[in-house]
């Protein structure tokens, strides 16, 4: 098995085999330094020119391009003079495992490289340590949140992405040809995570692809993104849902801070702030009033009962001013603006919320309507009949009160690292004009 750069200190004075990219070759008068790289860091390989036995390896490395990959057998030696971790590899054998052609751009200096060129060669772009770190941080965040859920009786599920009816609403759904009929790409695991509860699993979550046929070219919209979705049973109100989300985010962000806090500060210049419970909550009506009185903001008529991008931005400002918080739950949305499966109370008030972090909506959540008759009524009101017929059946044979939420993972990573857009955040961005690589 491969030994990683960050494990080499355990092999001092031992003979090992190390594999990685050739990051740089420094050919000096008396010595050649070859910097090798893997996903955990860089290490120096040193070839003394005075050593007769090094001649063929020196010749080989002279003709090996940077970004080729090599396999080196040699000894790990401790040497304080080496700036890269105080270690070097003294090789006895080198094998080139893959030769690199001249690169289309220098991934170590991306200033001035067009973002679309970067996307076209994403696998090279990703070799920039900053971009490697984005993936590692997102993985760590997911790990932290997963750990929390496993500890709290959640079961991870995988629901289908090919579906037979346009799920929540027809407008944002991609149609695909499915043999001699039409199918759709799931715009949320919503119905299936609820079905899993009707199936007797009390708590479920899913981390998976979500498809949206939205022709939006903003810095926060993708046509495919990763949803971190969960659903859990036997709740009393959507307060339970918000409370669980607070714990989940605290767990995820704490993990990131512990593992990558320093590195993030160094590379992205931003602090990982672990929030405290409870996050502030505000009713939409009160929010409109505050935004108007403080910032002279008026919600456009078509958005009344909902938020828009500007309102989200100002909500962050307000959360900081009023509560010194980066997070804010917004509640009391208009039922007309929200999906039919959100519960309403006896006065028709919606039992759902959005969570705004650093000026962007990262989550929608709610207590769900689990009472069959009410659900049918709400669906009818939205003009949904045939398409949700299968879903309505889940509530006919006993289904516990429940709620849940969906986090846009890409958006979270973007905000966590202060990145300029979802395009550079996603592993492989999917937008109205991008389907490759
Ligand atoms: P919603 O549609 O609000 O809710 O989506 C949940 C979260 O997903 C993220 N998101 C997006 N991220 C990138 N590109 C997009 N085009 C995009 N659209 C949404 C946002 C958003 O908050 N079924 C519900 C969730 C639930 O109630 O459990 C749903 O899908 O961060």
Q: What is the CATH number of the domain that holds 45?
A: 2.40.50.140
Closest atom, ligand 1, to C-alpha of 352:
27
421 domain-assigned: yes
Closest atom, ligand 1, to C-alpha of 187:
30
Residue reference for tokens 């495992």: 97
432 domain-assigned: no
For residue 169, what pLDDT is reported? 60
- The residue to mutate among 208, 210, 356, 410, having the most atoms of ligand 1 within 8 angstroms of its beta carbon, is 210
One domain, residues 91 and 143: no
171 domain-assigned: yes
- The residue to mutate among 194, 340, 411, 422, having the most atoms of ligand 1 within 8 angstroms of its beta carbon, is 411
Which alpha helices (H) appear in 73-203, and where do they start and end? 115-120, 122-125, 129-151, 190-198
Nearest CA among 141, 111, 138 for reference residue 125: 111
Q: Whose CA is nearest to atom 2 of ligand 1?
A: 364
What contacts 372, CB < 8 A, 6 or more positions away? Answer: 392, 395, 396
Distance 54 CA to ligand 1 centre (A): 58
One domain, residues 23 and 162: no
Instruction: Determine if ligand 1 sits within 6 Å of the CB of residue 410.
Output: yes
Q: Whose CA is nearest to atom 19 of ligand 1?
A: 408
Q: Whose CA is nearest to atom 30 of ligand 1?
A: 188
One domain, residues 86 and 138: no
Q: Length of the chain, please? A: 437
One domain, residues 89 and 177: no
Terminal Cα-to-Cα distance of the chain (whole angstroms): 30
151 domain-assigned: yes
Closest atom, ligand 1, to C-alpha of 222:
14
For residue 435, what pLDDT is reported? 96
pTM: 0.96
One domain, residues 416 and 306: yes
CA angle in degrees (0–180, nearest 5) for 182-220-263: 125
Closest atom, ligand 1, to C-alpha of 212:
16
328 domain-assigned: yes
Q: Whose CA is nearest to atom 23 of ligand 1?
A: 190
Alpha carbons 17 and 3: distance in angstroms, whole number: 7
Do residues 203 and 235 make contact, with C-beta atoms less than 8 angstroms apart? no
Series of mean pLDDT values for 10-residue runs along the chain (437 residues):
97 98 97 97 98 97 98 98 96 98 97 96 97 98 98 98 79 93 95 98 98 95 98 98 98 98 98 98 98 98 97 98 98 95 96 98 98 96 89 97 98 98 97 96
For residue 224, what pLDDT is reported? 98
For the record, the structure tokens of 297 come out as 């903001």
Domain boundary among 64, 98, 132: 98
For residue 404, what pLDDT is reported? 98
Instruction: Determine if ligand 1 sits within 6 Å of the CB of residue 290.
Output: no
Q: Total structural domains in the chain? A: 2
Segments forming the whole domain that contains residue 292? 123-425
One domain, residues 53 and 129: no
For residue 31, what pLDDT is reported? 98
One domain, residues 179 and 317: yes
One domain, residues 283 and 202: yes
Distance 407 CA to ligand 1 centre (A): 6
Q: Which residues are catalytic?
A: 212, 214, 220-221, 361, 364, 411
One domain, residues 34 and 128: no
One domain, residues 364 and 275: yes
Which CATH number characterizes residue 408's domain?
A: 3.30.930.10
103 domain-assigned: no
Instruction: Determine if ligand 1 sits within 6 Å of the CB of residue 312.
Output: no
437 domain-assigned: no
Residue reference for tokens 């000096």: 28
DSSP bridge pairs for 225: 210
One domain, residues 158 and 283: yes
Alpha carbons 6 and 4: distance in angstroms, whole number: 5
Q: Whose CA is nearest to atom 11 of ligand 1?
A: 408
One domain, residues 90 and 170: no
221 domain-assigned: yes
């Amino acid at each position: 098995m491969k030994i990683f750069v960050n494990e080499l200190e355990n092999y001092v004075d031992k003979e090992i085999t190390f594999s990685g990219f050739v990051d740089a070759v420094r050919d000096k008068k008396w010595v050649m330094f070859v910097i090798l790289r893997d996903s955990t860091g860089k290490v120096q390989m040193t070839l003394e020119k005075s050593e007769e036995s090094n001649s063929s390896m020196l010749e080989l490395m002279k003709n090996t391009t940077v970004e080729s990959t090599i396999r080196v057998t040699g000894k790990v030696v401790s040497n304080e003079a080496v700036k890269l971790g105080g270690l070097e590899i003294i090789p006895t054998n080198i094998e080139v495992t893959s030769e690199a052609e001249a690169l289309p751009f220098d991934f170590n200096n991306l200033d001035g490289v067009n973002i679309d060129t970067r996307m076209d060669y994403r696998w090279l772009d990703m070799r920039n340590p900053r971009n490697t770190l984005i993936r590692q941080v997102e993985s760590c965040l997911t790990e932290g949140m997963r750990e929390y859920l496993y500890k709290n009786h959640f079961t991870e599920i995988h629901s289908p992405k090919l579906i037979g009816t346009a799920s929540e609403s027809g407008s944002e759904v991609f149609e695909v040809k499915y043999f001699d009929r039409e199918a759709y790409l799931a715009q949320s695991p919503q119905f299936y995570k609820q079905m899993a509860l009707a199936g007797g699993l009390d708590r479920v979550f899913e981390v998976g692809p979500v498809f949206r046929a939205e022709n939006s070219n903003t810095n926060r919209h993708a046509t495919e993104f990763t949803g971190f979705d969960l659903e859990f049973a036997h709740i009393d109100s959507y307060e339970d849902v918000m409370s669980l989300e607070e714990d989940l985010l605290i767990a995820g962000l704490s993990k990131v801070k512990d593992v990558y806090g320093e590195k993030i500060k160094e590379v992205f210049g931003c602090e990982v702030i672990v929030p405290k419970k409870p996050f502030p909550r505000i009713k939409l009506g009160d929010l409109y009033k505050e935004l108007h009185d403080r910032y002279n903001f008026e919600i456009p008529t078509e958005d009344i009962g909902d938020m828009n991008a500007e309102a989200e931005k100002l909500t962050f400002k307000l959360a900081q001013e009023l509560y010194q918080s980066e997070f804010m739950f917004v509640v009391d949305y208009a039922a007309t603006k929200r999906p039919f499966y959100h519960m309403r109370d006896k006065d028709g008030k919606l039992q759902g919320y959005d969570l705004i972090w650093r000026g962007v909506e990262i989550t929608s959540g709610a207590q769900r309507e689990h009472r069959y008759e009410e659900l049918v009524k709400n669906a009818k009101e939205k003009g949904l009949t045939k398409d949700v017929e299968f879903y309505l059946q889940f509530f006919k044979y006993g289904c516990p009160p429940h709620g849940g939420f969906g986090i846009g993972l890409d958006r979270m990573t973007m905000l966590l690292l202060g990145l300029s857009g979802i395009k550079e955040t996603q592993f492989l961005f999917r937008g109205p004009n991008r389907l490759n690589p």
